[in-house]
Amino acid sequence: MIPWNIQHFEPADLIQARFDAPAISLFREDLASASGIIIATPVYKAAYSGVLKTILDLLPERALEDKVVLPVATAGSSSHLLAIDYALKPVLSALKARDILHGVFADDSQIVQQGSEIHVEERISRRLDSELQAFTAALSRLKTPESAGALY
């Protein structure tokens, strides 16, 4: 599986909701074969990104059934701390995710880019490690042949 990001999709395919576009079809296939998915998004105006919304809207109703999901979000300030719980998790639940982990939220002061290097505050790094361990443990509990696969 490849790590998916917005650059894999043609903008027109997303805007025009082309369910049969090659990248969208391949993404749905990868997602169907994955046991877990890590969803990372920026938060703006207390909601996850519009691009993520567009991609999630192109998925079938039960696209996350029997999957473990780890949400990760960043925002300009801590005032958006609850965006994962109040904006993203309900959509993941509607897509029938099996396990939605607590997730990790960080504001811009906790992740700083200096040149080509990214510095993550120690507290956020520990939370990421803890959630990744929970993600791995949840995947191992699924006991399905493909439980080792995860889509990032």
Average pLDDT, 10 consecutive residues per value, the chain (152 residues): 89 95 95 95 93 95 95 94 94 95 96 93 97 96 60 56
Domain that holds residue 38: 6-143
Q: Do 70 and 131 touch, CB atoms closer than 8 A?
A: yes
Q: Cα–Cα distances in Å, from 114 out to 74, 117, 128?
A: 17, 5, 21
Q: Note whether residue 82 is domain-resident.
A: yes
CA angle 86, 147, 21 (to 5 degrees): 65
pLDDT at 62: 95
Q: Note whether residue 28 is domain-resident.
A: yes
pLDDT at 45: 87
Number of domains the chain is built from: 1
Q: Enumerate the β-bridge partners of residue 100.
A: 69
pLDDT at 142: 83
pLDDT at 61: 92
pLDDT at 98: 86
Q: Note whether residue 149 is domain-resident.
A: no
Q: Pairing state of beta strands 99-100 and 68-75?
A: parallel
Q: Note whether residue 152 is domain-resident.
A: no
CATH number (domain holding residue 40): 3.40.50.360
Q: Note whether residue 26 is domain-resident.
A: yes
CA angle 70, 1, 116 (to 5 degrees): 70
Q: Note whether residue 84 is domain-resident.
A: yes
Helical H runs in 34-121? 50-57, 83, 89-94
Three-state DSSP class for 47? strand
Q: Note whether residue 148 is domain-resident.
A: no
Give this prediction's pTM: 0.88
Q: Note whether residue 126 is domain-resident.
A: yes
